Each structure stands twice: as C-alpha cells, then as structure tokens.
Amino acid sequence: MRIALSTGGGDAPGLNAVIRAAVLSAVRRGWEVIGIKRGYAGLLGDDQCIPLTAESVRGIGHLGGTILRTTNRGNPFHYPVNHTDGTCDFIDRSDDLIQGAKDLGIDAIISIGGDGSLGIAQRLCDKGMKIIGVPKTIDNDVSGTVTTFGFDTAVNTAVDAIDKLHTTAESHDRVIVMEVMGRHAGFIALHSGLAGTADVILIPEIPYSVEKVCAKVMARHNAGRHFSICVVAEGACEQGTGPRMRGKSLPGEAPRLGGVAEEIAQKIQEQTGKECRSLILGHLQRGGQPTSYDRLLATRFGGAAVEAIEAEKWGYMVALQTPHIVCIPIKEVLKQPKRVELTHDTVRTARALGISFGD
Ligand code: F6P
C-alpha cells in the first residue's frame, strides 16, 4: 500500500501532528507514504512529492505550520496559470492530478483541509480517487465534528491577548476593540470573548448595531467601569451592511477581510466620547505551537485516517463526536456549513452574564 498526504488551505496548528500520526501509523502497517507539497502542486509538477518516513516526521508533533506547506490558491479544478505579463488564467487540472497519482503508484490520499479542501476531495472522489478527509480550520466551521484542531490554539492566543488588553484598557479608561479571525463563523470570537470576559462580542451570525454596542459601553461607564473590551470576528457585519474587505487579493484567492474593529472603534469614540483603540490579532492566531488539546485531536485524526483507509471508507472524513472519533461521508459534511447556533448555551450564557452581541 502506498498512500499520500496533502495539506491545503490556510494552515492550522496541529497539521504536523496529523502528518506525524498518519505516517507512523501507516509505516507500522508496512505501507509507504508520500508527502504532496503545497496542496496538490507536488502532483501537478509545480512542486515536489517527497517520501515520508518515521525519520522525516521525528520531532514535528509540537510544531505549528505544516512540513508539506500549503496554499489557498491550489484548487486543481480551478488551477491558476500565471502568465509573464502578470495576468492569470484558471484551468481544470484534475485529470493531470489523477494521472500524477497513478504515475507515482499512489493507492489513496489523505486530504487535510477545511471546507474548500473537502469540496475538492469530494470532486476527486467522484472521479474515482480514493480519498479520506481530515477536517482542519482554526475557525471551527466544518460540520459533523465537534471541533477541528487549531481552534483551541487560536482561542488560547486570543484569550491571552484579551487578558493583556484588559490591564491596559483599564489603566487608561479606554474601549479596546480586538478583531479575530472568523470569516463566516464567530466561534473564535465567542469562545475567546466568553473565556476572556469581554463585554461585547460581535460575530457574523448576529448583525450588530453600533448604538447597541455604545449602550453597553455607556452602561458600564455609568456603573463605574470606565473601560470595555469588545471582541469582533473579522466577518461580523453592521446591520444592513456586508463584511469589511482589506487589501487586494491575488487571483483565485478569497477576498481578504479586515478593518471592522477599526471602524467600530471610531464609531464608538464618535458616539460616546470615550477614547477607543483597535487591533487586528491576525495571523498570530494561526501560528505557534498547538495546544495539548489540538495535538491530541490532530494525532487521533491522523491515526483514524489510516484506519479509515484500511477500512476503505473512500469519501469519508474523520470527525470528533465526543468521546469518539468517527467517520462520516464528506458529502454530508458539505451539505451545511457549521455556524454558531444562536440558541446554544454559550450564547445564552454570554447573554445571561450581560455580554452584548450588539443586537
Ligand atoms: O479560513 C481560516 C481563516 O482563518 C479565516 O478566518 C481568514 O479569513 C483566513 O483564514 C485568512 O487566511 P489567509 O490570510 O491565509 O488568506
């Protein structure tokens, strides 16, 4: 048996732990493992495919990033072809990918990625490739799994930042608005805001009104709490508007979000007269060593993915359904993206504690 591993989309702390666990589990079964570099670029002649052995995954379980590297512009069905004049076309290279895998004698692929990568995995599966999915995203927005690895690390990074912001905000009687990742789902903002005792949490699932946010800030002010902390997901929208974009994306890349925190801080300052500051936590949330929770989850996913290959569960994704790791059809996962449920106990408890969602 010869299997291959691919990491696609934005990285997440824990990717290397998945790779390590899958490689060691496979090697112990007497299988060979190939690492496809930079998404599927290694199979498409734009990067390498490398042998992965017990030696090559030694000492990587605690490291962030991915030894295979990754890309969010590597969809084989919509593959970028850059021209020398700076323009870019997109072509379907899925047949080249399948041929590349055949040429290398690859029997099955473990695709580690978020919704986008899982969608690609499903399409490759429909074309006859033997694929197992492993869910990955710091945003925690993949359905069918209680959580994805990388999320806990990102939340910890955000909570650490909120703790630090508290002391400086309180010293200066300021309102500080911190923007965290979360394009469509507000899990990082909700969990870090609740754990870090923020006063306002704004998420894409609940459009906010600046007036409501200001009312919360002033209620605290009038009660003698002269500072406030607001955590906002990058994809949160003011009622009646869309998400804030920042910077220019490259062809094939999703629009870059950002800037909502700065806008909210300015509006709070204008409407309340209180001194406001904002920051974007950004890619710090994606970097660094995975927490022990994420290392363990990633390791379990890697081991389970190899078991799934053994059981020939093609087109399935490993998932955490506490307390077990299970296999579910990728098709089912893709039917409904995971979002914060507005009736979930985390939201109810946040409201009960007086946290404002700006609604
Ligand atoms: O998809 C995960 C994510 O963390 C999103 O929340 C964010 O919009 C995106 O990555 C940013 O990724 P990049 O800067 O790599 O395009």
pTM value? Answer: 0.97
| Ligand 1 center–CA 313 separation, angstroms | 29
Atom of ligand 1 nearest to the CA of 11: 15
| Ligand 1 center–CA 67 separation, angstroms | 19
Cis bond leading into 337, ω under 30°? no
| Ligand 1 center–CA 99 separation, angstroms | 31
Under the banding of pLDDT at 50, 70 and 90, the label for residue 18 is very high
**Residues 6 or more apart from 35 whose CB is under 8 A from it?**
4, 5, 19, 42, 49, 50, 51, 52, 56, 67, 68
Of the candidates 24, 11, 12, 2, the residue with the CA atom closest to the CA atom of residue 299: 24
| Ligand 1 center–CA 178 separation, angstroms | 16
Q: Whose CA is nearest to atom 13 of ligand 1?
A: 10
For residues 271-300, give the mean pLDDT: 98
Q: Whose CA is nearest to atom 1 of ligand 1?
A: 10
Q: Which of the residues 11, 47, 115, 139 is marked catalytic?
A: 139
AA identity, residue 184:
H
Under the banding of pLDDT at 50, 70 and 90, the label for residue 73 is very high
Q: Whose CA is nearest to atom 12 of ligand 1?
A: 10
Atom of ligand 1 nearest to the CA of 137: 2
Return the best residue to mutate from 75, 139, 155 for the ligand 1 pocket (most ligand atoms within 8 A of CB): 139
Q: What distances in angstroms separate CA 147 from CA 115, 154, 156, 265, one per listed residue?
A: 13, 12, 14, 31
The predicted structure's pLDDT at residue 86: 83
For residues 60-74, give the mean pLDDT: 97
**Residues 6 or more apart from 281 whose CB is under 8 A from it?**
157, 158, 161, 178, 179, 180, 181
Is 173 catalytic? The answer is no
Return the best residue to mutate from 181, 234, 338 for the ligand 1 pocket (most ligand atoms within 8 A of CB): 181
Place of tokens 């990754």: 70
3-class DSSP state of 340:
coil
Q: What is the DSSP letter of 292?
A: H
Atom of ligand 1 nearest to the CA of 114: 1
Atom of ligand 1 nearest to the CA of 249: 16
The predicted structure's pLDDT at residue 251: 86
For residues 293-300, give the mean pLDDT: 98
Return the best residue to mutate from 286, 338, 339, 340 for the ligand 1 pocket (most ligand atoms within 8 A of CB): 286
String of DSSP letters for 302-322: HHHHHHHHHTT-TTEEEEEET
Which spans in 69-186 are helix H? 94-103, 115-126, 151-172
**Residue 252 pLDDT exceeds 90:** no
List all residues whose CB is within 6 A of at least one atom of ligand 1.
10, 72, 114, 137-139, 181-183, 234, 257
**Residue 356 pLDDT exceeds 90:** yes
| Ligand 1 center–CA 179 separation, angstroms | 13
- What is the enclosing helix (H) or strand (E) of 345? helix 345-352
For residues 83-98, give the mean pLDDT: 94
**Residue 292 pLDDT exceeds 90:** yes
- What average pLDDT is seen over the chain? 97
| Ligand 1 center–CA 181 separation, angstroms | 7
| Ligand 1 center–CA 26 separation, angstroms | 31
Q: Whose CA is nearest to atom 4 of ligand 1?
A: 181
Q: Whose CA is nearest to atom 10 of ligand 1?
A: 10
- What is the enclosing helix (H) or strand (E) of 280? strand 276-280
